[in-house]
Amino acid sequence: MKIHTHIYVNGKWTEPNGADRADVTNATTEDVIGRIPLGDASDADNAVRAARAAFDGWSRTSPQQRSEWLAKIAQGLEARAAEIAQLVSAEVGTPIAWSQFAQTGAAVAHFGVAAQLLGTYDFTETVGNSEVLREPVGVVACITPWNYPLTLIAAKVAPALAAGCTVVLKPSEVAPLTAYLLAEVIDAAGLPPGVFNLVPGYGPVVGEALASHPEVDMVSFTGSTAAGRRVGELGAQTIKRVALELGGKSAAVILDDADFASAVPGAIQACFLNNGQTCSAHTRMLVPRARMDEVKRIAAQVVGGMRVGNPLDERNQIGPVISALQRSRVQGYIRRGLEEGAELVTGGPDAPEGLAHGYFVQPTVFANVTSQMTIAREEIFGPVLSILAYDDENDAVRIANDSIYGLSGAVWSGDVERARRVARRLRTGQVDINGAPFNLLAPFGGYKQSGNGREFGTYGLEEYLEYKAVQMPVQASSQ
């Protein structure tokens, strides 16, 4: 069992002022596998003050120095990759292969990318008689969720440190163990005191203290749209920069000329990644009305054949959701789908056969879903797919855009140029064509109520930078 008793503030493991503790539960066995302290508002304040004191020195380090530290952190994480994957599969329920790739490999890559960018990024340019500088925004509060606990931390902390900002991290108290592992790696790397600080705690306590703190210059938040609204409201009180990566209800548009034998399974995979606990999951599949029966047959075969069970068994494709509360929430949505008249293709609200213990949900597919149904409009965050019919290409675009969200999506077509034209019409931050791979150098973020700001690559680095224009005197020309 991983027992943590301290928070990490000003380069030291410190006794928290908060007296509460939180247990960490294995999603498969329901056993307690860890315990962490929960900070309070005074702990958040101490961390912010440490970050503020460290900012002047850290912001003046050279890009080369920061690059070397970030590379060292990446190496430290890489050395503990197997441990990270096991921790996340236990906490979150992520199947081990996906945990190794997306939960571990991507986290290491974010620090590696940030280190590499500092070798080429130009923080200064000349525009007319002005020297335009890119300078760090200041003290950054990073508030992160449980579904990709280390990867989404790395996507914020790495570029913030690269930019020259100092950081206070509040991870999810539900899946905090890899945040502690990162703090251990950073401590071993020898970053100056106060540059990185870790204060776990509840959102309404530590999260709100950070979002409203006058010495925090920026909040970078990933989580639900409802919580994002609250973070934005609190940040507005001190006019701080707020970057929000929020919910999604992304659509995979399968055009009539697509290869349905590959498009339907590909879209299903993009829905069920991490057991459906992915903000950018393609949870709506849009198909030509005339081919609905064909799609149902393929989906029933693919999803009905998925192995559900212990995520540490590489043969299993679906693990548990993270908690009893989340299981109840997902099962409630499945029942709502049935009540509202959606056609159940496979799955259902009951626990998978033989898996009454653990937070397992049957992978579920609904067909003949309409845009008015709850399961087509709200983010479920579990292994549930809704299949909707469209009449023509324009109708498909209309349905895809008929959402308060705009985070991700896909287009499948036998004609890549046609797919590109449709992709341009989708009001969403990212679109995959024919299952194209994810790109950690491309911007990630959403339109509409999926948030604002961008993460990953150069785009993520620039979120943590301010512009400064220094006007230089113009030399009189000689006669």
pLDDT tens per residue across all 479 residues of the chain = 999 999 999 999 999 999 999 999 999 999 999 999 999 999 999 999 999 999 999 999 999 999 999 999 999 999 999 999 999 999 999 999 999 999 999 999 999 999 999 999 999 999 999 999 999 999 999 999 999 999 999 999 999 999 999 999 999 999 999 999 999 999 999 999 999 999 999 999 999 999 999 999 999 999 999 999 999 999 999 999 999 999 999 999 999 999 999 999 999 999 999 999 999 999 999 999 999 999 999 999 999 999 999 999 999 999 999 999 999 999 999 999 999 999 999 999 999 999 999 999 999 999 999 999 999 999 999 999 999 999 999 999 999 999 999 999 999 999 999 999 999 999 999 999 999 999 999 999 999 999 999 999 999 999 999 999 999 999 866 55
Same domain, 81 and 186: yes
Q: Identify the CATH number of the domain in which residue 79 sits.
A: 3.40.605.10
Domain membership of residue 439 (yes or no) is: no
Q: Identify the CATH number of the domain in which residue 292 sits.
A: 3.40.309.10
Domain membership of residue 357 (yes or no) is: yes
What whole-number distance in Å separates Cα of residue 329 and Cα of residue 327? 5
Dihedral angle of Cα 371, 266, 456, 181, to the nearest 10 degrees: 110
Same domain, 274 and 238: no
Same domain, 177 and 285: no
Q: Is 83 a catalytic residue?
A: no
Instruction: State the residue for tokens 């150098």.
Output: 441
Q: Residue 478: what pLDDT?
A: 56
Burial 269-287 (b: 16+ CB within 10 A, else e): ebbbbbbbbbbbbbbbbbb
Q: Residue 298: what pLDDT?
A: 98
Same domain, 213 and 82: yes
Same domain, 370 and 461: no
Domain membership of residue 418 (yes or no) is: yes
Same domain, 69 and 203: yes
Same domain, 160 and 274: no
Same domain, 80 and 224: yes
What whole-number distance in Å separates Cα of residue 401 and Cα of residue 445? 16
Same domain, 375 and 463: no
- By CB atoms closer than 10 A (0-12, 13-18, 19+), residue 31 is exposed
| Tokens found for residue 295 | 């799609």
Q: Residue 27: what pLDDT?
A: 98
151-163 and 106-117 helices cross at what angle (nearest 10)? 10
C-alpha 315 chain-centroid distance: 26
Pair 323, 146: CB distance under 8 Å: no
Domain membership of residue 440 (yes or no) is: no
Instruction: State the residue for tokens 């900070």.
Output: 39
Q: What is the pairing mode between strands 284-288 and 218-222?
A: unpaired
| Tokens found for residue 89 | 């599969």
Domain membership of residue 227 (yes or no) is: yes
Q: How many domains does the chain have?
A: 2
Q: Residue 155: what pLDDT?
A: 98
Instruction: State the residue for tokens 């003046």.
Output: 60
Domain membership of residue 476 (yes or no) is: no
Domain region containing 13: 2-246+450-469
Burial 428-440 (b: 16+ CB within 10 A, else e): bbbbbebeeeeeb
Q: How far is CA 214 from CA 193, 209, 236, 240, 414, in A?
A: 21, 10, 11, 8, 53
Q: Is 279 a catalytic residue?
A: yes
Domain membership of residue 475 (yes or no) is: no
Same domain, 154 and 74: yes
Q: Residue 94: what pLDDT?
A: 98
Strand partners, 32: 25
Given 91, 245, 379, 455, the catalytic residue: 245
Q: Residue 477: what pLDDT?
A: 61
| Tokens found for residue 418 | 């046609």
Same domain, 379 and 316: yes
Same domain, 208 and 271: no
Q: Residue 322: what pLDDT?
A: 98
**What is the spatial order of strands in the sheet that 124-127 belongs to?**
124-127, 130-136, 465-471
Given 271, 279, 455, 463, the catalytic residue: 279
Q: Residue 430: what pLDDT?
A: 98
